[in-house]
Structure 1
Amino acid sequence: MAAMLDLTQTGSIARIAARTSRYRRILLVLAAGGLANFAVVYFPQPLLPQLASAFAVPPGATGLALSVATAAMLVGLVVAAPVSDRIGRVPAMGASLVLAGLFCAAGALAPTWEVFLLLRAGAGLTLAVLPAVALAYLRDVVHDDAQLEANSIYISGTALGGAVGRLAPLPLAAVGGWQLVTVVLGALSVVVGVLVWMLLPRDGADPKPLRAGDVLGGAVSSLRDPVILALCIIGGLSMAVFVGLYNAIPFRLDAPPFSLGAAEVLVYLAYPLGIAAPAVFRRVATRRGRGAATLLGLGGLLAATALLIAPSVITIFVGLGLLTFAFLGTHSILSGWVVERAHDVGRSTARASSAYLLVYYLGSTLSGAASTQLWQGGGWTAVIMLAATAGIVASALCLIVRRRSPRR
């Protein structure tokens, strides 16, 4: 009966039930926001060799195109939750996408590498808001029975954004250079930002005052809970595996024995294989618990790392597909787990989500910069060792959390 109602009431905020028109609209718009957000973050990855040539910088430095954006996101995540609590989550998410799109499109006019990196940092700073508050927004507006499903659909949208960010750049660059890529994806972000502002219902929460203590310590305070801290570290390490391998793979595919050039886009067709991962991992978590689902994902990351050792295009395709599937499934479980844990222990869900993403993007920032440097200095073996170490540490930590946390 509850599933047939459009709204259920919890406290002073109307909670939207599953399988209703408002529920589907929320998920569609938020998934589109995640798509635009992650496309803008990750589009430089397949273009790193082209950016090295265009700006005359060494390959080891090109990882900064991704790392400066994720480093700026770390700063944005510190203020994202308190700012969104002050002005409202929906306006904050919409403005985030619009501003990020403008920074992205302006990158096409960058005269130097330094200016391009500055614009990437601006995009990263503003992009922090949507991922920081999206799951907390869903936690407040969607009925409890639909939480896992709603989270997995939103993460699938971010996965599709990652796919667009890796598949679209090379064909677009073949038509109009890397500059066309920045303009197209920037425009996409602006349009989706306007749709978020216009179509998403407000969560009904009262505005909160913006205090310096909240800005400086709101997200970090969530890490005082040992379970939240451990889950955040696991998320950061899994992100380090994912970004490190994806950052270095374009250089490996450009180098002998592959020398694929523009044909490397065919390998990135493995990425969409991961879009179904959140739904699959949601079912595993429902039946076996979140700990088991996370361990399954981390095992998949290690298996994918092993597959990517082989000098075979087919093996690399399979390895990237498994890597993407395992990572997106793991991330969908961890991000929802952190929010649920924060709710259970009486902490701010938005700040806990920000804390998770702080550590998550710290892993991306460090691994993104380190992987291209390792490639330049030690080749593919050094990159593989970085990924394997991060995956093993994350798996060990997950075993500890699973033993100490009740199955839900």
Structure 2
Amino acid sequence: MQPHRLYLSAAAGIAVANVYFAQPLLVTMGADLGIAAGTVGAFVTVTQLGYGLGLFFLVPVGDRLDRGRLIRVQFVLLAAALLLVGVARNAALLLIGLAAVGGLAVVTQSLVAYGASLSPPAERGRTVGTITSGIVLGILLARTTAGLLTDLAGWRSVYLISCGLSVLIAATLFRSPPQPKTDLSYGALLRSTVDLWRDEPLFRASAIRAFFIFASFSTLWSSVALPLTERSLSHTEIGLFGLIGAAGALAAGPAGRLTDRGHGQLVTTTASVLLATSWLVLVWTPKSLLALAIGAIVLDLAVQAVHVSNQTRIYPLRPDAGSRLIGGYMVFYSIGSGLGAIASTTLYERTGWTGVCLLGATFAVGALLTSVRAAPPTSRAFRSCESCR
């Protein structure tokens, strides 16, 4: 299973990177297409909107169809959307392309559910942690890669190269034994995703917490290019801060193992405290790049620890609905990321970096409150599964 874990981790990282390529390039893309700096956050927001729609309407299909085949088709369509972005010559076409990229990049979550379904219960947290490490690296190295490629060959090269990688993954994805599937119709699948919110208190608390942690995460990474650009840093230099923040991937493995051992609540609470604390350091970014580096590492470690723990704890609630659980959970991730992106870039133009930090800290406090006030596990699955406590 180890080679499969690594392959799925790499594929997930490449897929999710497409959602974040634009973050260090917002100013450049806006200037190229004549869009004001105060509204370039729309590039991230429309991508996250597409991602949110894809999470709800596409990911649950993995509980009904063969996940391996579905993943291959999604990567082919993702390649087509990336090609559209790479050749777009006006803002309208670019926004359509970015929305499609977001909607199809949800193949990342299909890969998480795929890996979890192939793993025995005792190793599920490890598998989710490994794939999530790839996702973390994809998110953070997307900025470094995008900055470097833009300085070398222009921002369009970023999307065209990713298009080629998506085609490669579609052609090389391994085959797996058939997995149990639901007989629910597509409409019933979507309705049951909504029912999970009503029936599973832990899922509900985890989803709300996902909203807050990724709103805080996006507040930093969607707006940090603005003050760094004012300091005349190049795209490559701005992207390097994503490389520094990639240390957050180190939290994914330990968080998954601790959650497998029944310490999920401790992981989420401790990491939420670290998330709120990180903004006390990040507020010094305009005066110290070291403060940005330290704050980014702490923030990313905290976000990924909470994220892995959330996913590892909710999957056993309904293993037969793994895609719906992960997809429904990630809808809140997408909403939080989109809100953080548009709010932070708009707020920066009006109040500067201090206002951005207050916004990020507010989201972090929201995550902490949902951690310490999380509902006790009362679902039927929890009463019969000790590892989920």
- Is TM-score (shorter-chain normalized) higher than 0.5? yes
Q: 1:81 to 1:250 in 2, by over 3 A?
A: closer
Structure 2 counterpart of 1:398: 371
Q: Distance in 2 between the 1:267 and 1:100 partners?
A: 27
**Among 213, 231, 244, the residue aligned to 2:219:** 244
Q: Which amino acid aligns with 1:113?
A: A
2:297 aligns with: 321
Q: Out of 281-290 and 35-44, give the one that drifted further.
A: 281-290
- The 3 A distance-change label for structure 1 pair 234 and 206 is closer
Query: How far apart, CA to CA, are the structure 2 residues paired with 1:266 and 1:283?
Result: 29
Percent sequence identity over matched residues? 23
| Structure 2: distance between partners of 1:260 and 1:231 | 37
Q: By how many angstroms is 1:186 displaced?
A: 1.9
- Cα offset, 1:283, TM superposition: 4.0
Encode CA deviations 1:195-248: one digit per residue, 9 max, x unaligned: 22xx14144324635332323x23222111222111100011100000111100
Aligned to 2:385: none
1:290 aligns with 2:264: yes
- Provide the rounded CA distance (Å) in 2 between the counterparts of 1:393 and 1:39: 26
TM-score of the aligned structures, taking structure 1 as reference length: 0.87
CA deviation profile, 1:326-384 (whole Å, cap 9, x unmatched) = 111211111221212334xxx72221111101111111111111111111122112211
For the aligned residue pairs, the C-alpha RMSD in angstroms reads 2.0
* Aligned partner letter, 2:303: F
Shift of 1:403: 5.8
- Counterpart code for 2:294: V
Partner of 1:327, secondary structure, is helix
Does 2:62 align with 1:88? no
Residue 191 of structure 1 corresponds to: 168
Partner of 1:7: none
Answer yes or no: is the 8 Å Cα contact 2:201–2:376 preserved in 1. Answer: no
Structure 2 CA distance, aligned partners of 1:30 and 1:24?
10
TM-score (norm 2): 0.91
Out of 340, 349, 361, the residue aligned to residue 388 of structure 1 is: 361
2:194 alignment counterpart: 220
Q: Distance in 2 between matches of 1:154 and 1:392?
A: 27
- 1:234 corresponds in structure 2 to 209
What SS does the corresponding residue of 1:117 show, helix, strand or coil?
A: helix
Aligned-partner residue type, residue 292 of structure 1: L
* Letter of the 1:251 counterpart: L
Corresponding residue for 1:14?
Answer: none
> Given the superposition, is the C-alpha separation of residues 77 and 404 from structure 1 closer, same or farther in structure 2, using an over 3 Å criterion?
closer
**Partner residue in 2 for 1:8:** none
Query: Structure 2, unaligned stretches of length 5 or more?
Result: 383-387
Q: Is 2:196–2:203's contact at 8 Å kept on the other side of the alignment?
A: yes
**In structure 2, which of residues 323, 340, 351 is the aligned counterpart of residue 350 of structure 1?**
323
Measure the CA separation in 1 of the matches of 2:261 and 2:104. 37
Q: Which residue of 2 aligns with 1:162?
A: 139
Hey, what does 2:309 align to over in structure 1?
333
Is 1:33 aligned with 2:11?
A: yes
- Correspondent of 2:118 among 129, 133, 141: 141
Aligned-pair CA distance for 1:287: 5.5
